[in-house]
Copies of this chain bind each other. A is one copy, B any other.
Amino acid sequence: MNETVDPCREDFKYFLAIPTRWQDCDVYGHVNNVIYYSYFDTAVSGHLVTEGGLKPMESPVIGVVVETLCQFRQELNFPDIIDAGIKVVRLGTSSVSYEIGLFRQDKEEPAAFGHFVHVWIDRVSRRPMSVPDIIRKVLEPLCT
């Protein structure tokens, strides 16, 4: 994926299906821009919990978000099912950069896409830490 060409489904390595909710739509009758980031967040965290065994309430090291960006291409509605695709474009010592694409289940072109950067920190001191090995192991297959 390159910032001048819209990504396609094949660009992503892991998908999560996210149905929209009534409350996602705003006064313009479409999913509010803020909610797209909730889909990003759910796809990234869903992968970490489901595949990486992350226990958010206990893990001594946690991933916190330092930057996100979204480009909006198509309106989404309720009810729609969104395939949220993720891949890892940089797996650093303590930071992980993802690219994300949101696709309506009946469409090939993305409704939106962007990036999402996590830094892994110590739960108590809030200082950067190495990405835990168990997490790194499930991120490697998502790398491009």
Q: Which residues of A contact B (CB under 8 A)?
A: 17-19, 21-23, 25-30, 32-35, 37-38, 41-42, 45-46, 49-50, 56-57, 62, 64-72, 75, 78-79, 126
Contact = CB atoms under 8 A, between A and B. Distances in A.
A42 B41 CA distance: 20
Please state the number of chain copies in the assembly: 4
A33 B75 CA distance: 22
B22 A21 contact: no
A126 B72 CA distance: 14
Contacts of A64: 28, 30, 72, 75
Nearest to A116: B33
A2 B89 CA distance: 25
Q: Is the interface of A mostly helix, strand, loop or mixed?
A: mixed
A46 to B, nearest CB: 5
Please name the 7 residue pairs, one residue from A and one from B, whose CB atoms are nearest each other, closest first: A33-B65, A69-B69, A29-B57, A22-B45, A34-B37, A21-B42, A27-B56
A61 to B, nearest CB: 12
